[in-house]
Each structure stands twice: as C-alpha cells, then as structure tokens.
Structure 1
Amino acid sequence: MSVRTLLETLSRYQNEIEQNASTEWIKFELLWREYFQWYAHCHQAKLFTFKGIKSHAPTTSFYFERFRRWCNGNTPFPIVNACMNQLNQTGYMSNRGRQIVTSCLVNELSIDWRYGATYFEQHLIDYDVASNWGNWQYLAGVGADPKEHRHFNLQKQTETYDPNHSFIRKWRGDQTDGNLDAVDAADWPIGFSDDE
C-alpha cells in the first residue's frame, strides 16, 4: 500500500469523522517515512557509512562491554533498559523509545551508531532499511538533521514520558547493576611491575 493511498484515506477520515493530534501524528510519521525512502534512494551506500552524508566523522568508537550492556538493557539508565528489554522480548519499540536509546548509545555510551542500527535491523519486526538507517544517522549527527547533535536528556525524557515509572517497572528497566564499564583483573597487562 502506497503512502499516497494511506494519506488519502487518512484525509477522508479527518474530513468525515475526526481530525485530532493523533491523526496529525500519523500523517507526520507517514511523510517522515516517505522522506527516508527518497533519502536512501538518493544517498545509497552513504546510508551505511560512519560519516553518513556529512564530511566529518562522529566522535564515537566501539566499546564491547558498553554495547553488550545496551543490547541487554543493563545500563545505568532505567528508561533505556526498559526500552531495550521491550525490544528484545517483543521485537517492537515506540518511536520515542527508539530516539531515546539511539541518543543514549551515541551520546552517553560514545558508541559508533552503526552498531545500534545493525542491532535494530536484527530485532525490529517492523524493520525498514531507509527509516532505520536514516533515523540512526539523523540522531547520530551524520544525517539530515541541520542541528547535527541531537542529545536527549534521559532524565527529562523519563519525567515527560514515564513520570510514574510504570513503563520502567513493566519492562524491568530498574533491575540492573547500574554499572557501565566492567573492570576485570584479566584486563590488566601481564609482566609489568608497579615500579615500571
């Protein structure tokens, strides 16, 4: 079904039955999805590159332990954990949740955005190449966003969208050890004494 058909049906619904904030959001999201289809068509392979469509690379890297914790919903951020637990158990996450966990991965954890985009590709039941990779670029600051650095305040997002922590409780986002990086004796180099 084309976006045009959906928008025509939505327009009829708004004219004949009701127009409200929800119907307007549906329209906005359909247009945003269509935008990313053309974005992917235009930029092709750049959709998957570290720099995206920008001329500069983001200041992120890959930290295995942090990425593993993000994937498993075991970060110091309950709202992120709840969203990731929901994704892992259902294959779904709301658009707001996707933005929150993306911002966390890129900004709080300093991880290369492509690992998150790939994880979503493997787990989302509504996965769409253009929307997924385009949105990840957008929030990582290497895509179509003129702001270039979208950083969500996780505490504010929690207060706004889950003020009673009911979502966090439902998806056990607060049942973590709260650590970000693990330190293990095995990580220390062998063969050095304290006075070297």
Structure 2
Amino acid sequence: MQRYFSSSAPHSYKLTRNQLDGWDSSTKFSPFLALGNLSPRSIWQQLKAYEAQHGANDSTYWIGFELLWREYFQWSALQQDARLFSFQGQAKHKPKTSYYSARFKKWCNGETPFPLVNACMKELNATGFISNRGRQIVASCLVNELAVDWRYGAAYFQQQLLDYDVACNWGNWQYIAGVGKDPRGGRHFNLEKQTQEYDPERRYIKQWQCDTAPQPLDTVDYVDWPIMPE
C-alpha cells in the first residue's frame, strides 16, 4: 500500500484498470485484503491522504468507488447467508443453464473456441491471478457461451485464486450470471469485441500460447457419447 501510494499510479488507475496484465495496471491490494493483512479502512485513509497531497481525479475516485463495491459485497453476503451459494441467488427465476462436464473441463483448462478466454484461464492456472477484466470475460463465457451453471465457475475461482474472497467472488459471479440484485439481469460480453478492445494485437493471447486454431465447443453429446465428425 505504501509503495503504491508513493507512486503516480493512483492518478492513472482508471486508464489502466482494464488492462489484461501488468503489475502496475491495478492496485494489487486484493490478496492482502482477502487474507486480512490490509484493512479497507487503512486503504481509504491512505487514499484520502494521497488526494489531499496530490489532488483528486477520476482515477483516485475510482479506487475509492471499487473499495466501496467490495464493502457492499461483504454486507450483501452477510444478508444473503446461504442464498449466496444458491443457483437462483437473489433472482426471481433460475438461470437457463445446466452442467456440461466436457464444456466445464475445457473452460478450466483454457481449451474453448475463444482464444482470449483460453489465455485468461491459462494465466489463472499458472499464477493464481487474472485481471478484473479477465474475470468478467471468462465468467460471461462460462455462463452465456457455454451455458454452464455459474456456481461451478465460482467454485473453480475459489480453488484457484490467490486473492479469493468469499463475498467478492460469489457476489461478482451472481452479478455476471444475472442472479444478483442488479435489475439489468446479468452481463453478456461480446468476446470478439473484448479482444479487439483489450488485446487488439493479440499480444496477451500469444503470450499464453493461445493463438491457435479454435477448439470445437463439444466433442461429446449430452450423454457423453463422442461426436463423430461429418
């Protein structure tokens, strides 16, 4: 925290926060918050001290805004209790998804038809971390393109993430799956558009060796029989 606020990074946070990689693109406070080594209040105080000394802008505002979102998820989790982990969550209707074991396995291993998703998953498996943008992209893919029950994705993140936090993880997955309190009902990201916007030169995709021919989505049918090529 002291290193971060002694740099100029807070003044450019909003411009870099959606980058797919890079140490200084985001605060990297999340592992320390999740483990309890760092309190949200101490970050808030440091942020206000930084603004008093260097001036506030949209980027410093956004750091505080996202810290408040984290606090919202903590209180929401306490309010929901076991519903935080239920398929329907806080929604009126259950999602139109199921469990496809082969699809889920491909998603976990970074072997989907979507190179950007594959790159994110390979980074997650190798390092235990991916960017906030990457988390939204792979979650949207699992729920919308693969039609897999969101809870399996949330549980896999729980297993893999170095900065796993119960409330933030499951609350954000509810948000993507459309079973949170958001009245807009979920998030469906256009994966090609996300690639063009955040990895136009496919540098990140190539870095994780995912710039290859797309993999087929399904190699088995709904009862796990192999699908034969026509």
Judge conservation of contact 2:115–2:214 (CA < 8 Å) in 1: no
Shift of 1:12: 1.1
Judge conservation of contact 1:50–1:114 (CA < 8 Å) in 2: yes
Gap regions ≥5 residues in structure 2: 1-37
Judge conservation of contact 1:80–1:104 (CA < 8 Å) in 2: yes
Judge conservation of contact 2:102–2:220 (CA < 8 Å) in 1: no
Shift of 1:70: 0.3
The amino acid that maps onto 1:14 is E
Alignment of 1:101-180 (within 5 A): 101-175=138-212, 177-180=214-217
Give the structure with higher Rg (CA): 1
Judge conservation of contact 1:81–1:172 (CA < 8 Å) in 2: no
Residue 59 (1) aligns with residue 85 (2): no
Divergent runs of 4+, >4 A: none
> Which residue is equivalent to 1:187?
225
Higher mean alpha-carbon deviation, 20-29 vs 97-106, is at 20-29
TM-score, reference length from structure 1: 0.90
In 1, Cα distance between the equivalents of 2:202 and 2:52? Answer: 37
In 2, Cα distance between the equivalents of 1:122 and 1:2? Answer: 23
The amino acid that maps onto 1:187 is W
TM-score, reference length from structure 2: 0.77
The amino acid that maps onto 2:156 is Y
Cα separation, partners in 2 of 1:6 and 1:111, compared to 1, 3 Å: same
Judge conservation of contact 1:139–1:145 (CA < 8 Å) in 2: no
> Which residue is equivalent to 1:89?
126
Question: Please, what is the CA RMSD of the aligned residues?
Answer: 1.6
> Which residue is equivalent to 2:108?
71
Shift of 1:140: 0.1
Cα separation, partners in 2 of 1:164 and 1:177, compared to 1, 3 Å: closer
Judge conservation of contact 1:113–1:136 (CA < 8 Å) in 2: yes
Shift of 1:177: 4.8
The amino acid that maps onto 1:52 is G
In 2, Cα distance between the equivalents of 1:76 and 1:177? Answer: 5
Shift of 1:18: 4.4
Judge conservation of contact 1:81–1:174 (CA < 8 Å) in 2: no
Aligned length: 187
SS state at 2:99 partner? coil
> Which residue is equivalent to 1:194?
none
- Among residues 72, 76, 83, which one is paired with 1:46 in the alignment? 83
Higher relative contact order (CA 8 A, sep 6+): 1
The amino acid that maps onto 1:38 is W
> Which residue is equivalent to 1:34?
71
SS state at 2:129 partner? coil
